[in-house]
Amino acid sequence: MTGDPYRYDLAGKRIWVAGHRGMVGSAITRRLGSEDVEILTAGRDVLDLRDQGAVRDWIGDMKPDAICLAAAKVGGILANDRQPAEFLSENLAIQSNVIDAAHSLDVQRLLFLGSTCIYPRLAPQPMPEDCLLTGPLEPTNEWYAIAKIAGLKLCQAYRRQYGRDYISAMPTNLYGPGDNYSPNGSHVLPAFIARMHAARTSGTREVEIWGSGTPRREFLHVDDLADALVFLLRSYSGEVALNVGVGDDISIADLARLVAEVVGAEVELTFDRSKPDGTPRKLVDVTRLTALGWQARIPLREGLERTYRDYLAALDAGAVRGH
Ligand SMILES: NC(=O)C1=CN([C@@H]2O[C@H](COP(=O)(O)OP(=O)(O)OC[C@H]3O[C@@H](n4cnc5c(N)ncnc54)[C@H](OP(=O)(O)O)[C@@H]3O)[C@@H](O)[C@H]2O)C=CC1
Ligand SMILES: C[C@H]1O[C@H](OP(=O)(O)OP(=O)(O)OC[C@H]2O[C@@H](n3cnc4c(=O)[nH]c(N)nc43)[C@H](O)[C@@H]2O)[C@@H](O)[C@@H](O)C1=O
């Protein structure tokens, strides 16, 4: 490679964080708070992103220089499995409306967020970016994965055909403040925090884990993700949808034990094998991101401690999402 490294200067830019009330969107907003940028936001109450005309009008009126697309229909394994229509249709609509309108209204820069479930169910571990579309997807979330693949492909297509500076990032499983704690709709980590906390406060000893407990997952604190996204916005331009992760994973049973320890719950685990395990392992290869100069900083245990404190504060305020 020759020439100067790519740099997008954020100074003075108007950046629309779509989905700013979600876990990721609010972390991006917090992180952008320390940059010299103007942050634009619109909640679902004023702008439903499934409405193509409304999205065009909003972008046309607000004229963002850059968009972080962190709005999506999101949920854990059971929600994905039970609502295939909404996970496919809403995500296709949200992302096409935003990306198409960004192109037609001449928005310079866009960052699309996918997920590592885009990779084949039995991908090599750790999963490199180039294993995309090399094998069948995990059936519990193939609907969501197909929408996310379409989103990253749309960014690639606008880049290839029209030279648009649109990029995509594929984060691993996330956790942190503002997560969704809905018992059936959440991801595993918030589910464990809520369940272990309930066990501790009620004195219950048996805590149920869905599936076999043997699948392995990687967990990235959302503040690390937000830092990585700002880094990418500033310093990455390319077709490849980049993995964002920590490069280390843990079994679901061990995660349950670790959460129990952090929460201070003395429990025995039971396994509900009628619930799906999903992908056996999902560890991302972060070689490309590391080579660009970014690395996660928050170790899992510290991130869990912080997240449990956030959960307790939200409980006190009666503001736990999904409860
Ligand atoms: N959580 C995770 O483990 C992972 C997340 N990601 C990706 O990160 C992104 C953000 O996820 P996360 O923050 O966890 O999800 P959240 O559910 O916390 O946030 C999603 C946000 O999108 C908004 N939204 C959804 N539908 C619409 C709509 N029709 N119109 C307007 N706003 C809408 C929600 O608004 P409202 O608050 O009104 O519902 C919410 O603010 C997604 O693209 C997801 O795929 C990727 C990998 C892992
Ligand atoms: C981020 C990612 O999130 C989803 O994929 P997933 O990684 O399978 O997500 P999950 O966090 O819901 O589960 C992880 C593992 O944990 C086990 N598990 C145990 N007990 C509970 C439990 O109580 N709740 C949940 N949710 N899972 C549990 C569960 O059986 C599974 O083995 C995608 O649909 C997809 O949308 C996506 O991109």
Segment 210-220, tens digit of pLDDT: 999 999 999 99
Tell me whether residue 61 is exposed, middle or buried, using C-beta atoms within 10 angstroms of its C-beta: 0 to 12, 13 to 18, 19 or more. exposed
Compute the distance between CA of residue 306 and CA of residue 56 in angstroms, rounded to an integer. Answer: 39
Residues 94 and 49 sit within 8 Å (Cβ to Cβ):
yes
Query: What residues does each domain of the chain span?
Result: 14-175+218-247+282-298
Distance CA 90, CA 150 (A): 13
Tell me, what's the pLDDT at 5?
87
First CA to last CA distance, the chain: 51
Residue ranges in the chain modelled with pLDDT below 70: 1-3
Indicate the average pLDDT of the chain.
97
In testing the pocket of ligand 1, which one of 74, 90, 112, 146 has its CB within 8 Å of the most ligand atoms? Answer: 74
**Report field, pTM of the whole predicted structure over 0.90:** yes
Residue identified by tokens 């962190």 is 70
Please tell me the predicted confidence (pLDDT) of residue 2.
Answer: 53
Q: Is 236 a catalytic residue?
A: no
CA of 319 to the centre of ligand 1 (A): 17
Q: Is there a binding annotation on residue 96?
A: no
CATH of the domain spanning 14-175+218-247+282-298, picked from 2.60.40.10, 3.40.50.720, 3.40.50.300, 3.40.50.1980: 3.40.50.720
- The catalytically annotated residue of 6, 8, 144, 162 is 144
Distance CA 92, CA 155 (A): 13
CB atoms within 10 A of CB 26: 20
Q: Give the up-direction half-sphere exposure of residue 142: CA atoms within 13 A in the CB hemisphere.
A: 8
**Residue 229 near ligand 1, beta carbon < 6 Å:** no
Q: In sequence order, which ranges of the chain are alpha helices (DSSP H)? A: 23-32, 52-62, 77-82, 84-104, 142-162, 188-202, 222-235, 252-263, 287-292, 300-316
Q: Residue 231 corresponds to which amino acid? A: F
